[in-house]
Amino acid sequence: MVKSVSISDGPFRIGVGVAGIALAAGIVAVRFCGSVSLPAKPAPPSNPSGTSSELLTRSSASPAVYQDFVGRDAAAAGVRAPTIEELSRKLPYRVDEARHVIAVGQPALEIAGVRLRAVHLTDVLALEVTNATDSDIAYEVVTAPMPAAGCNSAPVQPFNAMTIARSHGETRVECSWRDGMALAVTRVETVEVSPLSAWYLSHVPPSVVGIPLRIARGHYAPAATERCSVAVPQAVRSGLERGEIGWRDLIDFYARHRCQTYQFPLLYRAFKSDGERPVPAVSTGM
């Protein structure tokens, strides 16, 4: 005979709750039994600090990156890649600051590594500039047509306003033609450069090195996959206008550095001796 035992509502409810919790715990244990624990989340990578522009600048200041640019640019230009030692040498420089007047029909004037001859081409007065050295050259010939009226509107004839290859010449338009015209030459500068340096310089806009618009507008540059990113700071422009920075300084820099990557440092001056300082040359703030 089974006795019936009465259970009050309170203890019954507590018992049911405890049993439910135990059952739920058992199900969870069975469900996740044998699961693989996940590894701890790795710490975020530590990257160099600075903007993308700053990081690019720091990278291009590296001699290894610079040398890689030189190799790739030489291949694009189809010339031999110069060594870092060659790119650190003083560049032969010539200058003539005397005033010369040349007229059409006169013999060529040879000064500072170039031969100059005034010529009459159809409706313009032009200047033939022939390289008289045994090397490629960068050149600047400062002239003043006489009379000078109407020169800025003269027809443009494409030419290389920055460099002349060995044994070659360039012809540039000076002014619209009028009878009796002559050409005053007030300054001539030349720098002997390597074929790669000549290729570098030919991509630099002539206005960057102080060549006036009357001459610079006819310049053509060799084809390149990248455009020259010459954003000249106002301080550099002002230094050029005041004579604190010279044509030679700018030519010397861009003969050693691709204009698509490197910008002229304000304190840069032309090398006066071989290995005077390392290349690439970058601003102290880079």
| Residue 196 forms part of a structural domain | yes
Percent of the chain with pLDDT over 70: 78
Report the pLDDT value the prediction gives residue 33, as an integer from 0 to 100. 47
| Residue 264 forms part of a structural domain | no
Which residue do the tokens 């010939």 mark?
141
Average pLDDT on 65-73 reads: 96
pTM above 0.85, yes or no: no
| Residue 161 forms part of a structural domain | yes
To the nearest whole number, what is the mean pLDDT of the chain?
A: 85
| Residue 246 forms part of a structural domain | yes
| Residue 43 forms part of a structural domain | no
| Residue 215 forms part of a structural domain | yes
Tally of domains within the chain? 1
How far is residue 218 from each of residues 27, 99, 157, 207, 224, measured CA to CA in Å? 86, 24, 6, 11, 18
Residue 226 clears pLDDT 70, i.e. is over it = yes
Residue 106 clears pLDDT 70, i.e. is over it = yes
Host domain of residue 61: 53-254
246: number of Cβ within 10 Å: 18
* Amino acid, res. 184: A
Cβ atoms of 128 and 119 closer than 8 Å: yes
Average pLDDT on 207-236 reads: 87
The band of 41, judged by pLDDT with boundaries at 50, 70 and 90, is low
Report the pLDDT value the prediction gives residue 12, as an integer from 0 to 100. 46
What CA–CA distance (Å, rounded) separates 164 from 136?
6
Report the pLDDT value the prediction gives residue 233, as an integer from 0 to 100. 83
Note the pLDDT tens digit of each residue in 154-198.
999 999 999 999 999 999 999 999 999 999 999 999 999 999 999
Residue 9 clears pLDDT 80, i.e. is over it = no
